[in-house]
Amino acid sequence: MAKHPPALLNPKERGAALLLVLVALAFLMPLALLLSDFALRRQRQVNARQQNVAGQAAVRGALDLTMARLQSGRIVLVGPDQSARFELEEPETRLVRVRVSREPDAVVTLGGRVLGPEDAAELDLDQLGIDNLGGAVREYRRLEIYVVEAESPARSPFGAVRLLAVVARLDTGEVVCLGTRYDRGYFPLT
Amino acid sequence: MRAARERSAGFTLIEVMIVMAITLVIGAVVYKVTQSSWLLYRLQTHVTERGFSVVHAVDDMSVEIARAGFGLGGDAGALFPGTLEGVRAGDAITVRSNPEGVAAVLQEDLLERDQLVAVDEAALFAAGDVVLLVDAERTLERAQVARVGPGSLALRSLDGPDGRLVHTFLTSLAARVLKVREVSFFLKTDRTGAVVLARKTTGRVEQILARYVEELRFDYVGEGGEAMEAAAIRPGQGPRGVRITLRLGPNPDLPPVTVSPLSVLVSLESQSARIAFDAAAFHTIGLAAVIGQDPVSGAKTVRMHAWRNTLPRF
């Protein structure tokens, strides 16, 4: 007749052993959580700065690309109510959403005034004058005005980075940037 | 026999003492571990707080510096290497922008304070607005709108004594008025004696970005990436980038820690363009634009202003 191996614990002592294990876990668990929290916090801190700087550079790059596309004719918007959207995905999966919309054209004068479409309707925009050196000088220049909005999504703990820029396309085809602004926060493209 | 054994069952004195001794040793170990964990927690929380303070302060300064000149134009002194009061300092910076794009051209010469001068777009201004007076010779003066009349403004200098103008602004030099938002970052000592990094924005109360600052430095980078002397910065001749270096010390009330400094190079954007009216680009105007967004509807509005540049001198 086979004998049962001796029990490690008396059946009456099993509850005490369980209690001991629970007490040990209760002591160790907060410590483990605390240490993992430290590691995550420091990691987030380092990552946040890198993501933030990368986001700003990414939207700036998107503006340069948009200006190049406007200059080369890859983006053509024929009226003020038109817009185009595209997305850029960088190798490290940093998504940048870009929206380009055309605003009403503007006319600038040699005297340093900005005229809207209504004010410029009656003008002869090809009018030339002669300066005191005998050179031909234009009186007006027409500009196509575009708004470029580039957004890089939020990466905790920093919000999204958005760039808003006003870009002008001259009648010679040259594209220039007239103003740029960066914002932080949540800015869905509308 | 069995009943007699159960009645006499129990711990001997030596067993109880051994158990108590083991319990005391375990208790002492647990106490030490808890004490060390608490110290570690305070240290790490301190390090993390200092680290985040550096990151957020530098980030805040970076965003403002990147906006320098927005809506102003290159000749309007978008960046000043010093305090809002006009004192040059290596540990302070003032950046200017015109986010609303409010600008007007003088229609009469401005010669003295409180003189009502005709300007176009006067209705865009309000009494109390801080403005910049600029002309084609890059003369620059800070002023405040004292009064708004129909098609005219009265101004008081913020640079001269008792509001008196330091310079005159002539229509022959295409003088113009620009509403300005100034943001200044500088060091100061607070009531507790701690050195703090403060931010002052036009029309807002002063804000403390970080405490226990050990070092704040702004270094300027020129067009070719070379170091640029702060003394060389003036209207029309600004840097291409600004390197911000911020080093915070530990909070003296918390366990001592080492805080890593942070140094970031911020590129300044070109916020205006020069439009030529002839082939040789002798006749040009400056053009700047801003874009605003309605916080409720989300609608965006573009506002532009232009200014005449003087003819190049041969």
pLDDT at residue B300, as a whole number: 85
User: CA–CA separation, B208 vs B191, rounded Å?
Assistant: 12
Whether B279 sits inside 8 A of A136 (CB atoms) is: yes
The region that residue B75 occupies, defined by phi over 0 for left and psi between -120 and 50 for alpha, beta otherwise, is: alpha
The ipTM is 0.75
Contacts of A180 in chain B (CB under 8 A): 70, 269-271
Tell me the pTM: 0.78
pLDDT of B238 higher than 50: yes
The CA-atom distances, in angstroms, between B249 and each of B47, B49, B186, B264 are: 10, 11, 17, 18
Residue type, A100: V
User: CA–CA separation, A99 vs B303, rounded Å?
Assistant: 19
The region that residue A41 occupies, defined by phi over 0 for left and psi between -120 and 50 for alpha, beta otherwise, is: alpha
* A91 interfaces chain B, CB cutoff of 8 Å: no
How high does pLDDT run on average in chain B?
88
Task: Identify the helix (H) or strand (E) that includes residue A22.
Answer: helix A14-72
Least confident of A5-9, B109-113, B269-273: A5-9
B115 within 8 A of B154, measured Cβ to Cβ: yes
What tokens does B250 get?
């530990």
Whether B290 sits inside 8 A of A181 (CB atoms) is: yes
Contacts of B270 in chain A (CB under 8 A): 177, 180
Nearest by CB to residue B37, choosing from A31, A41, A177, is A31
- Tens of pLDDT, residue by residue over B163-203, are 999 999 998 888 999 999 999 999 999 999 999 999 999 88
Contacts of B99 in chain A (CB under 8 A): 181
- Chains A, B: CB pairs < 8 Å: 131
* Whole-number percent of chain B with pLDDT over 70: 96
> Strand, helix or coil at A18?
helix
The CA-atom distances, in angstroms, between B255 and each of A60, A126, B44 are: 41, 74, 10
Tokens 């005159």 belong to: B168
Whether B306 sits inside 8 A of A114 (CB atoms) is: yes
What tokens does A55 get?
């986001």
> Strand, helix or coil at B239?
coil
- Domains of chain A, residue spans: 29-106+143-185
Closest to B183 measured CA to CA, from B91, B300, B309, B94? B94
Cα dihedral sign, B219-B224-B226-B229: negative
Nearest by CB to residue B280, choosing from A110, A135, A182, is A135
Whether B273 sits inside 8 A of A131 (CB atoms) is: no
User: CA–CA separation, B143 vs B218, rounded Å?
Assistant: 26
What tokens does B11 get?
């711990």
- Tens of pLDDT, residue by residue over B135-165, are 888 888 999 999 999 999 999 999 889 999 9
* Cα dihedral: A140, A146, A147, A148 (round 10): -130
pLDDT at residue A186, as a whole number: 56
Q: Average pLDDT in the A104-116 region?
A: 89
Which candidate in A143, A147, A152, A166 is best for mutational testing of the B interface (most B CBs within 10 A)? A166
pLDDT at residue B313, as a whole number: 46
Nearest by CB to residue B283, choosing from A34, A131, A170, is A131
User: CA–CA separation, B190 vs B211, rounded Å?
Assistant: 9
> Strand, helix or coil at A110?
coil
The region that residue B86 occupies, defined by phi over 0 for left and psi between -120 and 50 for alpha, beta otherwise, is: left
What tokens does B213 get?
């600052």
Whether A177 sits inside 8 A of B99 (CB atoms) is: no
Chain B residue closest in CA terms to A32: B37
A158 within 8 A of A170, measured Cβ to Cβ: no
Q: How many CB atoms lie within 10 A of CB B199?
A: 18
